[in-house]
Amino acid sequence: MMTEELTDLTAPKPAVEVQSVAMSPTEQPIFTVLGADPSAAPGKKPNGGAKSPPATAVMATTSDTESGIFSGESETCVEHECELDWFCVTELKLICSQCTIVGSCHGHSVTPLENRVTAVRNHLVDVCEKMQLQAQRMEKFIEHTLKAKEQKLQVAASVARERVVARVSAAREALEEEEQRLLEEVQREEERVEQCLLTQRAHWGQAMTSLTGTRSRLVHTLTHSSDAQLVMSIQEIAERVEEADGVGQPCDTEQLNMKPGCSDSTLLRGMWATAMLHGPKVYALSSLKFDERTANHLLSLSDDRCTLTYLHKKPRQPLPYDPARFDCWPNALGSLSLSSGTHSWVVEVGQSAAFKVGICYVGLQRKGSGDLARLGHNDQSWVLSHYDGEYSFLHAGEKVLLRMATRPQRVGILLDWSSHTLLFYEPESATILHCVTHHFAAPLLPAFAVTDQHITILH
């Protein structure tokens, strides 16, 4: 046992390659730091044959009560008065050679002190060399990688800023050009209508003067002519009447009104819709639900009144009569009336193959199977419809087919009262499905219909 070596510290160590780096004047070789002989050749392990002060320093930190063998000031075994030149691996303490034979460490795993010191020094050298390599890697990471990242960040941020400025500039330029074009169009339309009004005013002013003169002459004839003269003036009277009839009757025409589309365009509508849908303001009707009073008996409402489900079979128990309820068509209206401002809501249509979403006047007919109570088939309602695989916009019985790139799972509705605009869009991509402009003359309600599966108001 006296010749046993530490398996973890005395085993042959692989040579550690240390990259050659420039050493600053303040840096010292690792061997000097560990207390090795300054005159020793660089790259060699310190000789463990001589007693080294570090071992004494380590020994001096251990008290008598801790070791049980030697005092903090002595390098000899208290029990055998021999030099402490062995190390007990089992108890991790310094011992003499007698302790390994007849002493308390007999049978323990022991090793000569110089071997232990050499192993510890070699271990510390390896650890310090690894730390030095790690520090070099950190320095390289800081000086090269992070610096390169900073430069790359500056370039990427600059490119991103330029992209933002370029896109906003392009959008602003396009919008300014469109603004100028539309303003000029409005100006031309205004001048055209003004010219028509002036022409009409001059024409009907002259006609009115002529008519007034003719009437005055006829009145004069009637009041100042004798019976004989009046009878003899029949031909003249007939000519005057014919002249008055030739003036005609004034009538209002569309030529006297500005064209509603002169201030609108696809580009302007698209930019406006994008700003409304993606802008900082929120127009969502967070408290919108289905009005259970209006729901047809073939429709079932969820407990939270946000999901409308179509019942394939008529319920056995009829619903109580309510003047607000649709008694024939599978319709239901929203719980909030809209008469000003800007509002939006989203309906999840899922896999429903037959539904309608849109708006209608509060006074929409609720009873009967005619078109007056059928959403989209009267002038009181505006809806986007999906039926038999076909998407369309319906109003006053007129159908506008809509082309869909994909089948939307959700349909958004945006109503801007001030601009008289109703917009249907796909929420995920903000794609405009259809847009209509109409001067709404009365309060509106969100309108719904479903005859397959269910639809849900999302908040």
> How many domains is the chain built from?
2
Q: What is the pLDDT of residues 48-86, one digit of tens each?
A: 443 343 333 333 333 333 333 333 444 889 888 899 999
Q: What is the pLDDT of residues 109-143, one digit of tens each?
A: 999 999 999 999 999 999 999 999 999 999 999 99
Q: What is the pTM of this model?
A: 0.59
Residues 381 and 320 placed together within one structural domain of the fold: yes
| Residue-level pLDDT at 19 | 39
Alpha carbons 450 and 311: distance in angstroms, whole number:
10
Domain of residue 403, CATH code? 2.60.120.920
| Residue-level pLDDT at 233 | 81
| Residue-level pLDDT at 110 | 93
Would 92 be classed as within a structural domain?
no
Give 47's pLDDT tier (boundaries 50, 70, 90).
very low
Residues 6+ apart with CB under 8 A from 43: none
- φ, ψ for residue 361, nearest 5 deg: -70, 150
**Domain stops at, among 211, 231, 260:** 260
Residues 205 and 283 placed together within one structural domain of the fold: no
Q: What is the pLDDT of residues 213-231, one digit of tens each?
A: 888 888 888 888 888 888 8
- Neighbouring CB atoms inside 10 A of 31's CB total 20
294: closest CA among 362, 354, 232, 236?
362
Q: What is the pLDDT of residues 200-209, one digit of tens each?
A: 999 888 888 8
Residues 314 and 437 placed together within one structural domain of the fold: yes
- Neighbouring CB atoms inside 10 A of 34's CB total 15
Least-confidence region, from 9-18, 80-89, 422-431: 9-18
* Domain region containing 423: 277-458
Would 267 be classed as within a structural domain?
no
Type and span of the H or E element at 423: strand 421-426
3-state secondary structure of 293: coil
Number of H helices, E strands in the chain: 9, 16
Q: What is the pLDDT of residues 274-329, one digit of tens each?
A: 888 887 777 888 899 999 999 999 999 999 999 999 998 877 677 889 999 999 99
Least-confidence region, from 57-61, 264-268, 306-310, 356-360: 57-61
State yes or no: pLDDT of 442 exceeds 80: yes
**Domain stops at, among 225, 260, 295:** 260
Residues 245 and 344 placed together within one structural domain of the fold: no
Residues 338 and 451 placed together within one structural domain of the fold: yes
Would 298 be classed as within a structural domain?
yes
Would 300 be classed as within a structural domain?
yes
Q: What is the pLDDT of residues 373-386, one digit of tens each?
A: 999 999 999 999 99
- Neighbouring CB atoms inside 10 A of 333's CB total 25
